[in-house]
Structure 1
Amino acid sequence: MADRTGLADLWSRAAGRGYVLLSEIHDLHDPLEDPATWPDEIATIARDAGLEVVDDLTDDVPPPPSSLLTSTTDGVRQYLNAIGRVALLTAEEEVDLAKRYHAGVAAKQALAADPGMSTAMRAQLRRLTVDGARAQERLVTANLRLVVSVARRYLGRGLSLLELVQEGNLGLMRGVEKFDHTKGYKFSTYATWWIRQALTRGTANKARAVRLPVHVHELVAKVRRTEFELLQVLGREATDAEVADDLGLTIERLRELRLAGREITSLDRSIGEDSDATLGDLVADEDAEDPERIATDGMARREVVLALEGLHERERGVLEMRYGLLGEEPRTLEEIGALYGVTRERIRQIEKKTLAKLRHPSHAHRLRGFAGE
């Protein structure tokens, strides 16, 4: 038992904070392999080690609170109201329904295996099949509130409450199929495991535009849970080193998981129910040029061209090449001198003389407004 994968990590995490959640123990519980008493045995070991066992699970799930109803759509509200009126089952009723369900499954298999059976036997098996389907439906509908209770813990992971409930219902139905009443489990405890499995995989597969592997999705959730726990213990946000140390990860791996956990949002998403505006309308394009800068540069370029028109051809050519005024790379004095067949010093003199001309009021008034650009 002590060698179970994940149990050592749970003990290490619990030792650092002084408590363990009952839900964490149940997450490690495999109903197909472990006895029904496994979670209780682990909880006892935790208490004997001086750890507080915090029961964050409830055996009888109450109707969804009004705060949950008011934050959902009308369709979801109607669904929650409907399942809230379904009576819960006793342990004896769960066992009886499970027996009837499995009897129906066996009857259906028998019908398929022997097409030549008597009419009376076929009619009896059909009655058992129908009764088994009704028993399955009763087991499912009586535990839909359990699905909502578990699904609420997965909100904020990319799926709406209705989508989470749909995923959880698939897990519930799988739990009904696999439930073995002879092992002494309470059905709600057994079904919770299957519901969580379905929700974990559902959020991993459907909550993101880019799908994450299930094990990565679980690690991302583990990082967020650890950050929250450290915030409560330390009274401040934990550093990357503290979070990585608590999880047994490198800081580089921690940052990779945070990056993987970022949500992707469509730029076409509407930003209001009564507005045609989209998120893309509010997001600036960092690579786009500033329209004001484009307009100013265009005006400055035109004024420079007009100012240069009053110069001699060589003077204009020297400045255009020296400062890249035609959109080319600026050239050195030596390069310009070679083109005109004169020395570097002569080009420097022409440049100095021409700039002095441009400073004359007859030219300077055109460029004065762009001096700071």
Structure 2
Amino acid sequence: MSTHLTEAANQLRWWLRLPPTNLIDRGDHVRFRYALYLMIHQVATVLYGMNGLPETMHYPSRLEGARNRLNSLSRAPAHAGDTLWTLATERDPAKAWAAAAGLMRDTLSLLNESSSDHDALDREFQEGSFKPDQYRDPVELYALAAEIAERIRLLDGTSAVALGGSLGRGYADRQSDIDLLVFGQGIPGEDDRHRAISAWPAVTCGPLIEPACDSVVLDGAMVHIRYWTRQTVEDMLATIPGPPMPPGQRILAEELQNCQLLVDQDGRIKVWKEVLRCLPDALVKAVIREVRDRRPRFHEQWRKAQDADDRIHLYCLAIQAVNDLLIALYMRNGRFLSTPRWTHKDIGVFDTLPADLVTCLARLVDGIIDGEDMEARWTVLEGLWDTSESL
């Protein structure tokens, strides 16, 4: 079983463990639509891989003709392509999620039945198991995060812990998770982490231990713990102001820019955050140039997909193109962005911003309805690019 297929299948399990429906309640429309885009690609990756077809995700998307191809596969849920079409066209978030959940459930069931690679797949999971059964006041979540950080610092090699996610950014609400960033000379061993977290009081689900990330429901709160080595951070910072960073490094840079310190024994996180506080013009221009240079390729694929009424492909292209626009907008405001998270809150404090951006973003990422002129969407996207470059 290929790495791409295994990773995609495990991601589908995560969507079912922790449904993104809270994004609907919290008004994070762009992030929810981005989640649907990921599900489309991950389902296609699994089903193509099961049928011996190339299954790698691409940027810009190359998911041409997915509806007919998936409908014709010998090993796939019935009408899989039609269901993906629903994800790309349905504007009611609840209906779109219901269709996505059903298809992911059927896809994983079929994969489990047909796969002999028991070690590669994370088969044991319960739907909704990592969705907390209660919501906590943000003040309580901050206090719990500080308590957990003190426990994590006892892991061998750990020197710093920071608070990320919505809590770290100051956007916490009663549905927030606790996202912790852990730094040290090395990443603590998986067995050691499992023993330590399992011994914590009030664990109701988990821990789920992955190579550099752990998840656990603790005292009614969903807790994600992600690990980096100090050398990884130093290597990332050493690239500034060099060529654009790889996506993995941008995720780390974004987290460091937005996190709050919890444990910083030797002050390294404070130093790292200071390096990222004011980004060099050369880096800003390089990142913007990188995403700008992709626009012609996006437009070419966009026109082909529109001519073929290939709405699955169009939807994926639209989400990716919007993400590129947001990467550039964030850079112009001195911020890294990997994927659209909390953009509806972030952009409220930006200095450089096109007018009506929020309204335009909602239109650009919405489901594609019958008879819609998708060239009009591209015109809106181009207008946002032109406006942002003139600010």
TM-score by length of 1: 0.21
Higher strand share: 2
TM-score by length of 2: 0.21
* Structure number with higher relative contact order (C-alpha < 8 Å, ≥ 6 residues apart): 2
